Structure 1
Amino acid sequence: MDVYVNDFADIAGQDYLEYLEQLTDHMFDGIVIEKSGVVIYCNRAFEEIAQRNKEEVVGKSVFQLFMLLGMADLIDYSTFDEREFKLGNRQIQFKHFLIEADSDMLTQALIFRNVSVKTISDEFSNDHQDILEILGDVYGHAYHGMVIVDREGRIIKWDYEELLGYREEDVLGKYAQDVIENTRMHIVVKTGKKEIFQLQKVNGRYLLTSRIPIFKNGKLIGAVGTTFFKNADEMRIVVGKIDALENTVNKYKREISHFFQAKYCFKDIITKDAAMMSLIDVAKKASRSSSTILIQGESGTGKEFFAHSIHNESNRRYGPFVSINCAAIPRDLLEAELFGYEEGAFTGARKHGKLGKFELANGGCLLLDEIGSMPIEMQAKLLRVLETREFERVGSTSRIELDARIIVATNEELDQQVKQGKFRQDLYYRLNVIKLKIPPLRDRIEDIPLLAANILQNMSNDLLIGKRCLVAPGTLHILKQHDWPGNVRELRNVIERAVNLSQGEEITPNYLPDYLLEKVDCFRGDIEEYDSLKYAVIKAEREAIVRVMKKYGNNKSAAAKALGIHRTSLYKKMELYHLNFDLECSGQEL
């Protein structure tokens, strides 16, 4: 027995110190035992932490020990339970607990842990039952529960009875995954990778756990798992906060999902055109994947209908459908709208920050409308997001994973914009995975009767007009002759105007806008005529031009003078009424 033990055998008892030395010298935490303010024992781990040998420590007062180590702020340790301090370049955690007390003397254990090192002593093995007992006692007194498994994932030490309700004798030798819900201890002993501060759901509650592999001589021999709560009450307080937060998050997720919903399905796209039917078939097939889709088409052709329908046909249909018009957001705010921002990111930012469209769309789909109007500097950032599938909020350094289907729409020819240097070529190729080009209405004239009937049916409900209107054949003839630069949107506006002006249940040509009537040849005998002042004026004007032109031998200057109009006006009216006096007029009889 060493001299320092014998010297204090009369204070602590020789048998007590021998037993203490045998057990604690294998531990990786530094242990100091003091009795009535005098150090009577320290283990090897403390010698390594303090870089002092036992002869320099044992026999000194606790005051002298702390002064020797430069830890004067720990002298009054009875006033606190736990503290961390720096010792050289190491971070040391200090705790203490009472071992024995009587009327004359106090015996306490002082525990020093090097928290800057996440390793376990190489002396540990599943053969040292005494070490396991000491580890269990120290972990239990110090601050958390513990489980130790061997290299096969079998439990060899257990200190979770208070948290999980199982006694140690009931679980020893069992596989951890058979005892602990959602455990990963068996995975850690296979991979050898530590997992620090992980949430683990057990019995409907979350525990904050760490799992650290144990190596001996470079060989993985087991793992230790810990839970960072002193008792179940502490855990319940934190778990209650987590549950409340989770409920709040789920509530907002439901609200967001309800607010950001796709409105249309493929059945809402009205057509009998072969090209459109083929396009719908391609879109349905594309909806099965998560690939980026580029939708091109003139304004009013129904790009948004296709985007909504693709989302509703996909396996993300229950997720949010978020859209943003890139042309409607000022360029200085577009980044914040897309990626969100943190509190204080810029002047005028909201107090608690704001979620961006990418984050709102996670789990669902994001439609970037008018992508051709996106500033060139934002195009570079968008490309990076699409490539890495992650992004950062403005003013943040934390990365957020992107889990959203991206659909982009434009009424511009992006390939032409690439040639003009207005759109990045690499982004164009990244977006042009699946391309849907929607034909304009003038290329599918036969869809006009179907579209008109559908629009009228919807409007009779939406406008609460109390009547169901029909489009007269002559009106359909006029509608078919127009080139529809505004496409279906323009057709909807024309019909809505006619519905509001019509007196009966039939939409006749006189309820159509003037610009449609002026472009139509109403005098070829292939449409039904109507008794209206508008038609009478048009007919009389045309007849007058034909009569005067014949009288003056097709001399336009003389005819214009006789009609009392400028020659330029005469040319315009001749073009409007399909009159060509450079040819024979026999085919233009009234």
Structure 2
Amino acid sequence: MNIDEELLNFIFNSLEECIVIVDENGIVTMMSNGYKEFLGCTNPEGRHVTEVIPNTKLHIVAKTGLKEVGELQEVNNHKMISMRVPIIINGKVAGAIGKVMFKDLNNFKILSSKISNLEKELQYYKNELDSEKKAKYNFNSLMGKSMKFKQVVNFAQRAAKGDSSILITGESGTGKELFAQAIHNGSKRALKPFVKVNCAAIPAELFESEMFGYEEGAFTGAKKSGLKGKFEIANGGTILLDEIGDLPLSMQVKLLRVLQEREIMRVGGSEVININVRVIAATNKSLQELIDQGKFREDLYYRLNVIHLNLPPLRERIEDIDLLADNLRVKLCNKYGIYSEGISTEALEHLKNYDWPGNVRQLENVIERAINLLDTELLISSKHLPEKIIKTKSKKYNMDTNGLKDVVDEMEKEIIVSTLEKTKGNKNEAAKILGLSRAGLYKKIKRLGLEQ
């Protein structure tokens, strides 16, 4: 053992705390002497944590990367409250650390009704943490094997290490919020709050009080103690400004000032509050097009668009549909208590041939519908899919009557027409999606006879 290990062990055991550390496989790597005595276990290292600590969930935290705080747990007839936190190194979950916050609650002679109330309070605060300040997903939650998807995931993992603002764009249902949560959990801010704000849902008259908070007596009906705003709640962590493209111009000005100055003032207050928040914005709209229409501030756009992630739609990730559909099947079967063994080859072919305007969210709805239609069958088959998906025909190109160049031209024509329809004729946006220059797109349009 080197001197660093000796020092770590000394600190670990001198705190007289019940602490345990496991690796990503749930194997115990370290346990404090206090915890060993409490458990009556002298050599836990090298064993799976479930063999050592009854009713533990530490191995699950090490697998999912999701922290748990204030969990009521019973070990060897002792009621105790614990916390479990993932160990994240370079954006990946490397294990987890668990700590007993309170033990032997039985010995405090607390009445059973009080214990019950304590459980309710813990659940309340746990729910508050989940809804307000917790990111559930990490990079392991992002499923896909296609080159396009893996490239954007790799880029997001690199972006997670910094503090720059990120703009995530993509069609509805492509997973923008999942990526935002993964970036937060893969960053140095992972143990700090993650706060989501739906910019389209905040009334203009409540924008300042919701985002920046208010002081006591700021307006009729204000809480006596005042209230923290979203930016203050997110301080030290990450704030997701979802549907940023729907934010009215009047609110954009106020948001811009916060991003420039990194400080806020509560409504009715006089004290300036400095904030340290990473901003992630997400939208399914073209902000450049909104700028051209005078609906989005260009200076705010440049503040948000330091790092840009454009998520590919599902129709450009056909090779991911098998993986996504089966994972969704397993998740939804577990949720609803329905047993199934998979998806038939024919049904998968139908899923691959469909265009998926609603992307992964739509695919999840289709799989949920299918498992609810299962009767005695164990496989999801074509008859369990919506009619519009079954009717979609696979695209076949005739190589007998057409040469390779003609087939390639036909494919290019279909892709360009589809992209122009999606961008409502906006050639600048279409060129970006297709990875072409504007001039390059015009040349192809002319060559393929697509001019109107």
**TM-score per shorter chain, which class?**
0.5 to 0.7
Q: Is the 8 A contact 2:235 2:277 kept in 1?
A: yes
Q: Indicate the percent of aligned positions where both proteins have the same amino acid.
A: 51
TM-score, reference length from structure 2: 0.58
RMSD: 2.2
Aligned pairs for 1:89-108 (under 5 A) are none
Cα 1:255–1:353 change in 2 (3 A) is: farther
How far is the alpha carbon of 1:371 from its aligned partner?
0.5
Instruction: Please tell me whether residue 498 in structure 1 is matched to residue 335 in structure 2.
Output: no
> 1:345 is matched with which residue: 218, 228, 244?
218
Residues 242 and 281 of structure 2 are in contact (CA less than 8 Å); yes or no, is this contact kept in structure 1? Answer: yes
Q: CA deviation at 1:363?
A: 1.2
Instruction: Specify the alignment match of 1:360 in structure 2.
Output: 233
Q: Distance in 1 between matches of 2:241 and 2:214?
A: 19
**Correspondence 1:486-525 to 2 at 5 A:** 486-503=358-375, 504-520=377-393
Say how many residue pairs are matched: 272
Q: Are 2:205 and 1:336 equivalent residues in the alignment?
A: no
2:340–2:380 contact (8 Å) kept in structure 1: no
Which SS does the other structure have where 1:446 is aligned?
A: helix
- The CA distance in 1 between the partners of 2:191 and 2:128, in whole Å, is 11
**Matches of 2:366 and 2:126 in 1, distance apart?**
39
Candidates 131, 137, 140, aligned match of 1:264: 137
SS state of the match for residue 366, structure 2? helix
1:437 maps to 2:310? yes
Partners of 2:334 and 2:142 in 1: CA distance: 19
User: TM-score normalized by structure 1?
Assistant: 0.44
Q: Distance in 1 between matches of 2:262 and 2:156?
A: 23
1:469 aligns with 2:341: yes
Residues in 2 aligned to 1:407 and 1:425: alpha-carbon distance in whole angstroms:
17
Contact 1:459 1:496 in 2 (8 A): yes
Name the CA distance, whole Å, in 1 between partners of 2:395 and 2:301.
47
Partner of 1:317: 190
Which aligned runs of 4 or more in structure 1 are off by greater than 6 angstroms? 252-256, 521-524
1:450 paired to 2:298: no
Residue 148 of structure 2 is aligned to residue 275 of structure 1: yes
1:306 maps to 2:179: yes
- Structure 1 residue runs of 5 or longer lacking an equivalent are 1-251, 525-590
Provide the rounded CA distance (Å) in 2 between the counterparts of 1:477 and 1:361.
44
Matched, 1:460 2:324: no
Matched AA of 1:488: V
Query: What whole-Å deviation, never above 9, does each CA across 1:287-332 have from its counterpart, x for those lacking one?
Result: 1111100000111000011100000010110001110111122222
Please list every run of 5 or more consecutive structure 2 residues that lacks an aligned counterpart in the other structure: 1-123, 398-452
State the AA in 2 paired with 1:300: G
Please give the secondary structure, in 1, of the residue aligned with 2:174: coil
The residue number in structure 2 matching 1:381 is 254
Instruction: Please give the secondary structure, in 1, of the residue aligned with 2:240.
Output: strand
SS, match of residue 200 in structure 2: coil
Residues 305/419 of structure 1: CA separation in 2 closer, same or farther (3 Å cut): same
Q: Match of 1:436, SS? A: strand
8 A Cα contact 1:326 1:334, kept in partner: no
SS in 1 for 2:308: strand
Q: 2:164 aligns with which of 291, 298, 312?
A: 291
Q: Show the counterpart of 2:354.
A: 482
CA-CA distance at 1:431 after TM superposition: 0.6
C-alpha separation in 2, matches of 1:354 and 1:320: 17
Describe the shift of the 1:257–1:498 C-alpha distance in structure 2 as closer, same or farther (beyond 3 A). Answer: closer
Give the SS at the match of 1:368.
Answer: strand
Alpha-carbon spacing, 1:386–1:256, altered in 2? closer, same or farther (3 Å): farther
Aligned with residue 403 of structure 1, among 238, 256, 276: 276
| CA distance, structure 2, for counterparts of residue 518 and residue 396 of structure 1 | 61
Check whether the contact 1:342–1:395 (CA below 8 A) recurs between aligned residues.
Answer: yes
Opposite residue 402 of structure 1, the aligned amino acid is: I
Closer/same/farther in 2, CA of residues 437 and 303 from structure 1, 3 Å limit: same
Q: Larger C-alpha radius of gyration, 1 or 2?
A: 1
Alpha-carbon offset, residue 378 of structure 1: 1.0
Partner SS for 1:407: strand
Q: Bigger relative contact order, structure 1 or 2, given CA contacts below 8 A and separation 6+?
A: 2
Q: Any conservation in 2 of the 1:478–1:509 contact (CA below 8 Å)?
A: yes
Aligned positions of 1:488-567 closer than 5 A: 488-503=360-375, 504-520=377-393
Structure 1 CA distance, aligned partners of 2:278 and 2:334?
34
State the secondary structure of the residue aligned to 2:163.
Answer: coil
